[in-house]
Structure 1
Amino acid sequence: MAELATMGDPARVAGRTRVGIRAGASYGVSLPDIRAMARRLGRDQALARALWVTGNHDARLLAPMVADPRETTEEDAELWALDFASWDVVDTCAINLLRKTPFAWALVERWSAREEEYIRRAAFALAATLTVHDRGTDDAPFRRVLMLAESAATDDRSFVKKAVSWALRDIGGRRPGLRGEAIALAERLRDSPSRAARWVGNDALKEFQKSRR
């Protein structure tokens, strides 16, 4: 923590606020510096847990980068999820840790039904991340994500609907066998009476149209 404190910049904390990051207690360490520190430290589950419980924003960005996915338990994931309060921490957990765990798909299913904004975001951020990295898996769990996305698309909270669109766009763009289903879902959402669903549908369709060019 002392080293993180020396790397901080208070101006960066203010900058994070401007992009919707609720930093709370934070030194304002840059993400490249946090990544470099994680590479130097290596995987250390005990350190990851200790960093997380500090409540410091920078420490919680570092924690999933040093956590060992082989030693991370579902209990760890659920405890950390209760503290999710910022989209960048959520996404860092999904990208750097949770996608590598054997229970990643179970979290997508379970968290998509949660009411908390950042836990529901985590479900779809994790689904989007799995779309990129879990290439050996067949289409079945990704098709299930499309069903979950259709249910969650009416959630008007900004960080949820952006993650739903992210997952929908990645599935349509990276899973050829599901592209047609993803486009059809986006079109249904575009025509929905729900304002949030229309936003998700239009956002995804813009991406699909770009990829046709």
Structure 2
Amino acid sequence: MSEATVSTTAELLAELAGLEDPKMRAVNERHGDDHGVNLSKLRAIAKRLKTQQPLARELWATDDTAARLLSLLICRPKEFDGGELDSMLRASRAPKVADWLVNYVVKKNVHAEDLRVAWMDDADPVVASAGWALTSDRVAKGRSGGLDLPKLLDTIEAQMKDAPGRLQWAMNQTLATIGIEHEEHRARALDIGERLEVLKDYPTPPNCTSPFAPSWINEIVRRKEAV
């Protein structure tokens, strides 16, 4: 019998609790994530468990952040319906949980596009940020067909400056992605970024690309042209 078949939710919660690092929790809490588990160790548990949809649902139901992150690593993304994913996102208050849900599950689900459209204008900024993240992903992967890019830039220009943090970040990413991937819209994307100055002073480590849209656009375009 494999180790995966004998792991219960209670056992996994105890294992995750044993991995709690107070210093890591303090760092994570500054970003809104209430857990102190090293993500490499969390991924190692997921690798051991492999894919287990029933267990993933049980872990999600615990409402524990580390357990939910583990749940997202062992679930089957295609087995959720749109309503479930919508409910899961609205229950994802920890930024890392919402981020992993969108990137590891929603993007692989057949309902991703319907959810993207529904979430874009949601009154909850966390939900709206997920819609913008999915939009940025479509642009980045060359699937902009059907997207009204000038209208997206209009919305970004009008709303990004005063948007709440996570929504602002996602809108800024979409702005940068449009500027990078669409030369015909690059000048306007650069202009919007320069005028709004969103994330202009964001602390960026050496050798990393600034999230300030004009810097981001110019750097990635330079790299592409250098290839």
Q: Place the TM-score, normalised by the shorter chain, in its bin.
A: 0.7 to 0.9
Gap change, CA 1:162 and 1:149, over 3 Å in 2:
farther
How far off is 1:99 after superposition?
Answer: 0.6
Q: What does residue 140 of structure 1 align with? A: 145
**Structure 2 counterpart of 1:108, from 108, 113, 116:** 116
Residue 181 of structure 1 pairs with residue 192 of structure 2 = no
TM-score, normalised with respect to structure 1? 0.79
Contact 2:52 2:74 in 1 (8 A): yes
Q: Which has the higher contact order (CA 8 A, sep 6+)?
A: 1
**Structure 2 counterpart of 1:11, from 23, 35, 60:** 23
Contact 2:89 2:101 in 1 (8 A): no
Q: What does residue 214 of structure 2 align with? A: 205
How far off is 1:115 after superposition?
Answer: 1.7
**2:106 maps to amino acid:** L
Cα RMSD (Å): 2.6
Name the larger-Rg structure.
2
Contact 1:150 1:185 in 2 (8 A): no
Q: Which runs of 4+ in 1 moved over 6 A?
A: none
Q: What does residue 107 of structure 2 align with? A: 99
Separation in structure 1 between the aligned mates of residue 121 and residue 78 of structure 2, nearest angstrom: 26
Separation in structure 2 between the aligned mates of residue 41 and residue 145 of structure 1, nearest angstrom: 42
Q: Secondary structure at the match of 1:98?
A: helix
TM-score, normalised with respect to structure 2? 0.75
Q: Secondary structure at the match of 1:153?
A: helix
How far off is 1:54 after superposition?
Answer: 0.9
Number of matched pairs: 197
More displaced 10-residue stretch of structure 1: 90-99 or 200-209: 200-209
Q: What does residue 173 of structure 2 align with? A: 166
Contact 1:61 1:89 in 2 (8 A): yes
Gaps of 5+ in 1: 192-196
Gap change, CA 1:105 and 1:182, over 3 Å in 2:
farther
Separation in structure 1 between the aligned mates of residue 46 and residue 120 of structure 2, nearest angstrom: 29
Gaps of 5+ in 2: 1-12, 201-210, 223-227
**Structure 2 counterpart of 1:39, from 47, 50, 54:** 47
Contact 1:45 1:68 in 2 (8 A): yes
How far off is 1:86 after superposition?
Answer: 2.2
How far off is 1:185 after superposition?
Answer: 3.5
Gap change, CA 1:88 and 1:153, over 3 Å in 2:
same
Q: What does residue 32 of structure 2 align with? A: 21
Contact 2:178 2:189 in 1 (8 A): no
